[in-house]
Structure 1
Amino acid sequence: MSLSTFLAPAVIGLVAAAGAYALWTRRSRTYHSSESVASAYDAWTDDRLLETLWGEHVHLGHYGDPPIRRDFRRAKADFVHELVHWSGLDRLPPGSRVVDVGCGIGGSARILARDYGFDVLGISISPAQIQRATELTPEGLSCRFEVMDALNLKLADAEFDGVWSVEAGPHMPDKQRFADELLRILKPGGYLAVADWNRRDPRDGALDARERWVMHQLLTQWAHPEFASIPGFRHNLECSSQSRGLIDTGDWTTETLPSWNESILEGFRRPGAVLRLGPPALLQGLRETPTMLLMRWAFARGMMQFGVFRLASDQLNAELG
């Protein structure tokens, strides 16, 4: 093997890494308003890269504790079923009304409707996501979608038997208002299922200089105004004017951590699918890779945590009598 043959893959890798870094630093998606979030998700939806690599579920997967190797897209569906069971949502009878706040392109909403028989409304601030979610939903499935701001839901008080929200909270500039709205539309005795990317609570240790730099990138690259901590958002829910009582929390960082590396590996598993989207999608994939690597680092280090939230079981039992 000649030296040039040996060095070629390394040179290509370095060029690709340099290109990704250049694209990544050229401009950011710093949060400015709800419109900036909508625009970011419109772009991610229209270029179809995220759907091509992540499938219909624009959220992390569940790999168990300890994690076991499994299909990336199967892990995402498994996440839905795990959260349904953990939150108690599977106690609801078929026909119950459930809202998915921050529904993406509807992957979770369709599982809730198809596998549990719920009547599901999915909402997103992104018109492109709502259009695509509607296109992907089979006729006859009890699942529909509307454009709506999660901080100003055009929904009646106590309208839903279940409220579901996965990885939407980081985009909310007012975490208390977000908590208030989730609880306002939930019926007494209903079920709450929330899962989010959360920062380490300041009481557990301030960010060091390296972590502050990483945090800045995580916020500016994906249009996040701020991350709540798990105790912080639990406080928002429990102290809400719409409070339903005590909140149980869990940390699913271990169960979801493999998702970050797997999301990058999907590009290598499906190169043809990415290439068919054209050069802009390939460049977009290169641009997103550094942020995903930083997310993986932050979750593995404990700087970030994957929090899940539900109504405490004793509170639910009391309300149900």
Structure 2
Amino acid sequence: MMVWWQVGGIILALVGLGLVFYVLFPRKYQAAASVAGAYDDWTQDGLLEFYWGEHIHLGHYGCPPGRKNFRQAKADFVHEMVRWGGLDRLPPGTQVLDVGCGIGGSSRILAQDYGFDVTGITISPQQVKRAQALTPAGLPVRFQVDDALALSFPEASFAVVWSVEAGPHMPDKAQFARELLRVLKPGGILVVADWNQRDERQKPLNFWEKRVMQQLLDQWSHPAFASIAGFAEALSATGWVAGTVVTADWTAPTLPSWLDSIWQGVVRPAGLLRFGLVGLLKSLREVPTLLLMRWAFGTGLCQFGMFRAVRGTSKLIPPVPAKLPS
């Protein structure tokens, strides 16, 4: 019995240390360099890749959501996004820009399974290095460091612009929208998946919701979340969208990802041997944020937004965004 008390005491002490790191050492957004630094650290220590795999984004668990392997759900998310965006009807060799590519998981699927010619960009040099190391020779994928708010590519460079969960790191959502559409060819398709906040114009945040949102911003180097309607309006306001911006809410099929990501620490105990006490403390440090994310998305404070737009041949009068069922 004494042994179990000792084990319980050790676990509580470790959890307490994780909470101390969580409270005392947030990763507040300061500038683009703070985002790059955070992802450099996550990439170098290997923890995020070990537990989340090559796809550093949420998974798709079906409609309605069901039980699914965590990493399979992430790969399935890419295929669901391809189908939702109509990219599965495009020919091999289509030039795609993956904005916020991470370590290249989605880029490699787009190249391997659909034959697309993919360029992935991230602000993290360490992510570029790791993405290159994970990419098989001969696969039409390349990676480079670039700033999504000031892309280095000429106007009308790509037939498809793709982005998953990069928007919360952008301090200027209007500029982000302009850059995504600027590098898209006339007639090209933009497909974006993002974490969004409830539209405060429709229902203002209460005191506690504001506190939760501030934690979600501060812990993972986010300056702000846009609402689904707000970012759709930002895309339309560029004047480059032909027709309407199509949106959908994928909160339900992605919601299991949050608790599933915590569960990986239990079902993958090899991580404790590989990363030791420091790795355990770093992992425990993320648990409060993951739980807050689950609460926020589960209660409607946050939503998982999908956006599809086609670039017109010239500057247009911005239309009203359309919302379609997910």
TM-score by length of 2: 0.92
1:283 offset after TM fit, Å?
A: 1.4
1:14 offset after TM fit, Å?
A: 2.9
Moved more, 268-277 or 46-55: 268-277
Separation in 2 of the partners of 1:128 and 1:312? 32
1:5 offset after TM fit, Å?
A: 5.8
Separation in 2 of the partners of 1:215 and 1:203? 16
Separation in 2 of the partners of 1:310 and 1:194? 7
In structure 1, what is the equivalent of residue 75 of structure 2? 77
Alignment check: 8 A CA contact 1:100 1:164 kept: yes
In structure 2, what is the equivalent of residue 38 of structure 1? 36
In structure 2, what is the equivalent of residue 319 of structure 1? none
Q: 1:283 aligns with which of 281, 284, 288?
A: 281
Separation in 1 of the partners of 2:130 and 2:93? 24
1:9 offset after TM fit, Å?
A: 5.8
1:13 offset after TM fit, Å?
A: 4.2
Alignment check: 8 A CA contact 1:150 1:178 kept: yes
In structure 1, what is the equivalent of residue 172 of structure 2? 174
In structure 1, what is the equivalent of residue 183 of structure 2? 185
In structure 2, what is the equivalent of residue 119 of structure 1? 117
Q: Secondary structure at the match of 1:69?
A: coil
1:208 offset after TM fit, Å?
A: 1.3
Q: 2:144 aligns with which of 143, 146, 171?
A: 146
Alignment check: 8 A CA contact 2:193 2:305 kept: yes
Question: Could you say what the CA RMSD is over the residues aligned between the two structures, in angstroms?
Answer: 1.7
- The one-letter code of the counterpart of 2:61 is Y
- The one-letter code of the counterpart of 1:143 is V
Aligned length: 313
Separation in 2 of the partners of 1:206 and 1:12? 42
Separation in 1 of the partners of 2:246 and 2:299? 24
1:286 offset after TM fit, Å?
A: 1.0
1:18 offset after TM fit, Å?
A: 1.6
1:113 offset after TM fit, Å?
A: 0.2
1:240 offset after TM fit, Å?
A: 0.8
In structure 2, what is the equivalent of residue 25 of structure 1? 23
Q: 2:195 aligns with which of 191, 197, 212?
A: 197
Q: 2:251 aligns with which of 250, 253, 258?
A: 253
- The one-letter code of the counterpart of 2:274 is R
Separation in 2 of the partners of 1:299 and 1:10? 31
The superposition leaves residues 288-313 of structure 1 with CA deviations (integer Å, 9 ceiling, x where unpaired) of 11111111110001100000000279
- 2:52 counterpart of 1:63: no
- The one-letter code of the counterpart of 2:80 is E
Alignment check: 8 A CA contact 1:101 1:123 kept: yes
- 2:305 counterpart of 1:307: yes
1:274 offset after TM fit, Å?
A: 3.9
Alignment check: 8 A CA contact 1:238 1:245 kept: no
In structure 2, what is the equivalent of residue 233 of structure 1? 231
The superposition leaves residues 70-98 of structure 1 with CA deviations (integer Å, 9 ceiling, x where unpaired) of 10000000000000000111111000100
The superposition leaves residues 23-48 of structure 1 with CA deviations (integer Å, 9 ceiling, x where unpaired) of 10121111110000000000010010
Alignment check: 8 A CA contact 1:180 1:241 kept: no
Q: Secondary structure at the match of 2:186?
A: strand
- 2:128 counterpart of 1:130: yes
1:278 offset after TM fit, Å?
A: 3.0
1:20 offset after TM fit, Å?
A: 1.7
Separation in 2 of the partners of 1:71 and 1:48? 21
- The one-letter code of the counterpart of 2:308 is R
- The one-letter code of the counterpart of 2:199 is D
- The one-letter code of the counterpart of 1:73 is R
- The one-letter code of the counterpart of 1:226 is A
Alignment check: 8 A CA contact 2:123 2:146 kept: yes
The superposition leaves residues 136-156 of structure 1 with CA deviations (integer Å, 9 ceiling, x where unpaired) of 000000001000000000001
Separation in 1 of the partners of 2:97 and 2:142? 10
1:165 offset after TM fit, Å?
A: 0.1
5+ long unaligned stretches in structure 2: 314-326
In structure 2, what is the equivalent of residue 16 of structure 1? 14
Q: Secondary structure at the match of 2:243?
A: coil
1:279 offset after TM fit, Å?
A: 2.7
TM-score by length of 1: 0.94
- Taking a change above 3 Å as real, the CA distance of residues 66 and 11 of structure 1, as seen in their structure-2 partners, is farther
Separation in 2 of the partners of 1:251 and 1:269? 30
The superposition leaves residues 176-201 of structure 1 with CA deviations (integer Å, 9 ceiling, x where unpaired) of 00000000111112111100000000
- 2:264 counterpart of 1:266: yes
Percent sequence identity over matched residues? Answer: 58
- Taking a change above 3 Å as real, the CA distance of residues 274 and 121 of structure 1, as seen in their structure-2 partners, is farther
Separation in 2 of the partners of 1:114 and 1:251? 28
Q: Secondary structure at the match of 2:241?
A: coil
In structure 2, what is the equivalent of residue 47 of structure 1? 45
